[in-house]
Amino acid sequence: MKLATLKDSTRDGKLVVVSKDLTRCSEVGHIARTLQSALDDWAHVAPRLARVAIGVETGSQPTMRFHEHDAASPLPRAFFWAGGSGGFSCPRDPILVTDGVSDISLTAQLAMIVDDVDAQPGADEAKQAILLVLLANDISADGTSAGSSFSPVAVTPDELGEGPDLSLLVRRNGKPLEGGKGSARGSAGVVAAAARARSLVAGSIVAIGSCRVSSDLSVGDTLRIEMNDRTGHSIFGAIEQTVQTRGK
């Protein structure tokens, strides 16, 4: 199942179920108005969303065109994220830095949206708590966080397939950067480790640390971050951003 949040006049946008090929989506406000409200009652809401997802693929569910430019972060704001809780940039927003900064860098990787996780969870509990997977891009400027953005679409773990190897493709000004190879194995251990520091609430985002790509950036650079499946189709849609100074 693939989920996205479309931008509207509200802070948290509106939740939609997206087709596997990322071309169509279906509004699900009658089930959950936002992704956070879905996460708050995931056990009851997720099966209903999954039925919509089946209908989107079979044609039995009304759909409209899905445009990645219309998407906010799947969670426009979150309770917890290592890069800083609060609001996030949309996946096609520019990266804004203060004029005169000399050290700009990115860290792109896989991340997870989790359910409630008590402190000291067992392995099974930690694994079951992983509800959705998405791409994350953290920007730092002169050693401090300059913001985070996430892929247009978040997917349930089964959408990654059974293969152990994943490849995150990051292009800077059209040229691929090195790195990005990894897998989602060990994700439960990452969740358990995060919960040892503090209990997690539904809607917390935890970096997997896998498929990581890091690079220096300059003002004017354009980034494109995505991950394709074995057939070459985008799994999450693309984060595509240009580094700009504020006020331009």
- By C-alpha distance, which of 236, 240, 51, 239 is closest to 132? 236
Q: Is 108 helix (H, G, I), strand (E, B) or coil?
A: strand
**pLDDT at residue 29 greater than cutoff 90:** yes
Kindly state whether residues 48 and 31 are assigned to the same domain: yes
Kindly state whether residues 109 and 190 are assigned to the same domain: yes
Q: Is 3 helix (H, G, I), strand (E, B) or coil?
A: strand
CATH number at residue 230: 3.90.850.10
Kindly state whether residues 131 and 192 are assigned to the same domain: yes
Domain end point (choices 16, 41, 68):
68
**pLDDT at residue 217 greater than cutoff 80:** yes
The enclosing H or E element of 193 equals helix 187-197
Whole-angstrom distance, CA of residue 215 vs CA of residue 225 = 12
Give 145's pLDDT tier (boundaries 50, 70, 90): confident
Kindly state whether residues 234 and 116 are assigned to the same domain: yes
Domain end point (choices 26, 43, 68):
68
Report pLDDT digits (tens) over 157-184: 999 876 568 899 999 999 999 988 888 8
Domain hosting residue 229, numbered range: 77-245
Please state the φ and ψ torsions of residue 58, each to the nearest 5 degrees: -90, -15
Report pLDDT digits (tens) over 224-234: 999 998 888 99
Domain end point (choices 41, 68, 95):
68
Kindly state whether residues 109 and 18 are assigned to the same domain: no
Residue predicted with more confidence, 120 or 71: 71
Structural domain tally of the chain? 2
100: which residues sit within 8 A by CB, 6+ positions away? none
Kindly state whether residues 101 and 196 are assigned to the same domain: yes
**pLDDT at residue 150 greater than cutoff 70:** yes
Share of the chain above pLDDT 90, in %: 69
Kindly state whether residues 189 and 99 are assigned to the same domain: yes
Tell me the range of 188-192, 212-216, 229-233 where mean pLDDT is highest.
Answer: 212-216
Q: Considering the entire predicted model, what is its pTM?
A: 0.94
Instruction: Tell me what pLDDT residue 86 has.
Output: 53
Residues 148-152, mean pLDDT to the nearest whole number: 96
Kindly state whether residues 176 and 239 are assigned to the same domain: yes
